Chain A
């Protein structure tokens, strides 16, 4: 092994050692910047999790059937699964990703959030459990757009 290779190796080890430091606070905007500019739900899921294979079970998604005001749409996601991350996507706005929740160890998955949608679209919630994706989706009819539309 020559000296150049050895130096490179050292850098790699240092980079790996850095990772656990940030585990308690994962800012997905910093770690997965591409996922936030993805325009398609599938592309965003693939960017975040590396796969688009989902099982439609175990996730409860609550959203209104018809939203009169697209600027305020209450969405809640709950699940009994021991998920690590929970993600909310929709396909009505220019970009697909709305929010990525990081579930702390032993955390309870019961999140409510208010989102805005430009037009009628499907809201998709994904709970990741050990690399497997569980999903639920719901069509929300928007009668008045919320993205300045």
Chain B
């Protein structure tokens, strides 16, 4: 069961501050919704962003994020670095995505 799809990441640097907009593809089935759809509940539980091995953003999430969750966050960084966004879901799926900071 692969609920976790591709993610779209945009990272832009301006005056030393990087703004990241990311959208993950995931149905984010809460327990209630899953019961109705007769599916297993599944949602993203943990998202972490790192640059050069250093954590710049981290969130533990629940089932009340919207479907295909969208995130926006900022951190101090420079152009040309590589951002890695990793996600984990309730059913144990793990994926990471890479994007260059522009």
Q: Are B58 and A102 within 8 A (Cβ)?
A: yes
Whether A114 sits at the interface, judged by CB under 8 Å, is yes
Determine whether the beta carbon of B55 is less than 8 Å from that of A25. Answer: yes
Contact of A113 with B70 in the complex, beta carbons under 8 Å: yes
A71 contacts which chain B residues (CB < 8 A)? 66-67
Q: Is A56 part of the binding interface, using a Cβ–Cβ cutoff of 8 Å?
A: no
Which chain B positions have C-beta within 8 A of A93?
Answer: 30, 64
Q: How many A residues have CB within 8 A of the partner chain? A: 37
Inter-chain residue pair count (beta carbon < 8 A) = 105
Residues in B with CB closer than 8 Å to A148 are: 30, 32-33, 36
- B residues sitting closer than 8 Å to A (CB atoms) are 17, 28, 30-33, 36, 45-46, 48, 54-67, 69-76, 88
Query: Which residues of A are interface residues toward B (Cβ below 8 A)?
Result: 24-29, 36, 71-73, 76, 90, 93-95, 97-102, 104, 106-108, 110-117, 146-149
